[in-house]
Amino acid sequence: MSKVAGGKHVRRSERQWRALLARFEQSAMTVSEFCRREGICTASFYRWRRLLGETVAGDRPMPPANRSADFVDLDALSLTGPDRLELKLDLGGGLVLHLVRG
């Protein structure tokens, strides 16, 4: 948020932050110079840049048309298989999905 006359804060929408981050990408300024010029907190700048990731320019990257599916169907699990089945998926960002059967 940025301060305006009277000490009040301005709340920006996601679209406004996207435009702000796009302006930063076009500038040759450092983050602190840009934030000072725009009157925004550097912590807010970094937070929104992280939240919006690589989509700061406003366009989400399109997947290639010839890309195959990331999902591979392995059919149903056999009921006569081992009594216990354990599956761990590392989803990134410190998030792990752990499934146990049996």
Is the model more confident about 1 or about 87? 87
Is the model more confident about 15 or about 56? 15
Confidence label for 58 from pLDDT (cuts 50, 70 and 90) = very low
Nearest to 3 by CA among 32, 49, 44: 44
Q: Give me the pLDDT at residue 55, please.
A: 47
Average pLDDT over residues 24-36: 90
Quote the longest CA-to-CA distance of the chain: 72
Mean residue pLDDT across the chain: 78
CA 18, 58, 71 angle in degrees (round to 5)?
120
Q: How far is CA 16 from CA 7, 10, 57, 83, 89, in A?
A: 20, 11, 11, 54, 36
Nearest to 101 by CA among 73, 67, 69, 77: 77
Q: Give me the pLDDT at residue 60, please.
A: 46
